């Protein structure tokens, strides 16, 4: 009997599977946190989760509302000052993966979490970069997860908050002491990876039931597809059960129950 799951659950499970056991991961709030903690609770019990507030090897029982959520400090192996977190751990090259979300992303993996519209008269002001620019620069590689729509996947981001590969795909060329940058983007429709030469995002895997046309219609540029296009493996019962229990615990905790 096939399992029933939502597109959001498919995205979270796929993103979680990208994290290998033993990886040191700098985690962003929201979808990246959900995926990283699912990985910790399933196939990667020894993954080391680090949050921007200075919590090392934290094991939250519920998903944090922000980097300042007490749950992160209470369940961490230890905590350090934010300057130490960035200067020693991140800039010191001790982070394998940075796991980020975003409001906008373009074909070269540049991220925008600053504003929508013109810089001088924006339509919407967003929360800003936080630690994402430094994470994208210094982590060994970067995973990005977000829901797929033309609103999010735009031809050019309105503002480059966090560097992917620059406006032309060459923003990391000949730059010393910098990580590989984004290596995969996981959405509720597909998995993408940058082309090795041009750095433009290419769809490498479609989620079950998703067509090429679905991805084309949800993307703000002429998206490319890999010659050997895979089908993403479906979630298993254990992953879905643990994810749903995690989200239920989180909802109860945040509701004060």
Q: Considering the candidates 4, 9, 20, 52, report the single residue annotated as catalytic.
A: 52
Long-range contacts of 234-237, Cβ-Cβ distance < 8 Å, separation of 24 or more: 234/2, 234/3, 234/5, 234/10, 234/208, 235/3, 235/5, 235/9, 235/10, 235/13, 236/3, 237/3
Residue whose tokens read 């993966």 = 97
- DSSP designation for 162: B
Nearest to 142 by CA among 108, 189, 190: 108
Is residue 179 exposed (0-12), middle (13-18) or buried (19+ Cβ within 10 Å)? Answer: buried
Which is nearest to 60 in space by CA: 73, 79, 78? 73
8 Å CB contact between 179 and 130: no
Q: Is 20 a catalytic residue?
A: no
Helix H or strand E segment including 214 = helix 212-217
> Cβ distance 205 to 191 under 8 Å?
yes
Active site (catalytic) residues:
52
């Amino acid at each position: 009997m096939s399992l029933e799951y939502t597109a959001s659950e498919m995205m979270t499970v796929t993103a979680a599977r990208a994290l290998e056991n033993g990886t040191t991961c700098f985690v962003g709030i929201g979808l990246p946190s959900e995926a990283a903690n699912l990985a910790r609770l399933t196939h990667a019990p020894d993954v080391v989760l680090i949050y921007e507030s200075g919590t090392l090897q934290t094991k939250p029982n519920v998903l944090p509302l922000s980097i300042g959520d007490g749950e992160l400090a209470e369940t961490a192996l230890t905590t350090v000052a934010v300057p130490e977190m960035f200067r020693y751990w991140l800039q010191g090259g001790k982070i394998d993966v940075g796991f980020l979300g975003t409001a906008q992303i373009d074909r070269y993996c540049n991220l925008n979490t600053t504003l929508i519209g013109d810089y001088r008269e924006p339509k919407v002001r967003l929360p800003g970069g936080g630690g994402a620019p430094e994470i994208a620069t210094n982590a060994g590689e970067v995973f990005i997860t977000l829901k797929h729509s033309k609103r999010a996947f735009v031809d050019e981001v309105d503002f480059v908050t966090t560097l992917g590969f620059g406006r032309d795909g060459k923003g990391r060329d000949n730059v010393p002491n910098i990580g590989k940058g984004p290596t995969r983007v996981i959405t509720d429709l597909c998995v993408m990876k940058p082309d090795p030469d041009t750095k433009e995002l290419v769809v490498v895997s479609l989620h079950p039931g998703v067509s090429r046309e679905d991805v084309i219609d949800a993307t703000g540029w002429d998206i490319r597809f890999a010659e050997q296009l895979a089908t993403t493996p479906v979630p298993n019962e254990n992953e879905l059960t643990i994810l749903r229990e995690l989200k239920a615990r989180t909802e109860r905790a945040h509701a004060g129950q």
